Amino acid sequence: MRCAACWGLAAAMYCSPTLGLSQIAPALNLPFDPVMGLYFHPAQIAFERAPENMVRACTRPAREKFWIYAQTSRPEGLYMVIAGPVWTVPDAPGPSEPILDPVDSYGEVVLLKADKCTPIGDPDTMFNAPKPSQIGIVNDLAANLIARAVHAFGGPAGFLAALKSQGLTYDKLDPILRPLVARLD
């Protein structure tokens, strides 16, 4: 779901004769949640930033920051959907300013226990086709993801408006998220 939006913007940037990097880069130069692909401006939209000890434990390669998009606690530890910005300089004419690179490996589902972070999988795979043993975890992560997004965007109306303005219609959301979003209408 999220990759289609990213690749669409990237294709527009590189293929359009009328749109230059300076026109498209602002849209790409923003982080987005790794499940829905919902872009946000960190100065205006407040997803939870991970504390420093979690950043050291959970990122490979090390990043200076990342956001927690969802979490659920289980006896075996804390499952989280996390992601941080992936900055690159494109090989294209125009200013060489870093932009967000739409890569498939953006974001992780991890298990944190006693400062040990274990990667579980990528959010796209887990939310689209969870293994039977992961269904309860993914359901809880999905509910927490929507609750955090609603909070970050200032309530249900702000969240639904952000989805609409970014072209993330109901049918483009992962099936596990659809009933949760439908309840907000």
Of the two residues 24 and 77, the one the predictor is more confident about is 77
Beta bridge partners of 112: 78, 117
The pLDDT of residue 59 is 63
Question: Which SS3 state, helix, strand or coil, does residue 182 take?
Answer: helix
Domain that holds residue 105: 2-182
Q: How many domains does the chain have?
A: 1
Nearest to 34 by CA among 68, 58, 77: 68
Compute the distance between CA of residue 122 and CA of residue 82 in angstroms, rounded to an integer.
10
Q: In this predicted model, what pLDDT tens digit does every residue of 84-113 receive, in sequence order?
A: 765 544 555 555 555 544 443 468 899 988
Q: In this predicted model, what pLDDT tens digit does every residue of 9-32 receive, in sequence order?
A: 443 333 333 333 333 434 456 777
Is the pLDDT reported for residue 185 higher than 90? no
The pLDDT of residue 14 is 39
Q: In this predicted model, what pLDDT tens digit does every residue of 119-177 receive, in sequence order?
A: 898 898 899 889 999 999 999 999 999 999 999 999 999 999 999 999 999 899 999 99
Sequence-ordered strand ranges (E) for 48-165 = 48-49, 67-74, 77-83, 87-88, 99-100, 108-113, 116-121
Contact between residue 9 and residue 24 where contact means Cβ atoms under 8 Å apart: yes
Contact between residue 7 and residue 14 where contact means Cβ atoms under 8 Å apart: no
Write down how long the chain is. Answer: 185
Q: In this predicted model, what pLDDT tens digit does every residue of 27-60 receive, in sequence order?
A: 456 777 889 988 888 777 778 888 777 777 776 5
Per-residue tokens: 121: 């999988």
The pLDDT of residue 117 is 87
pLDDT above 90 coverage of the chain, percent: 39
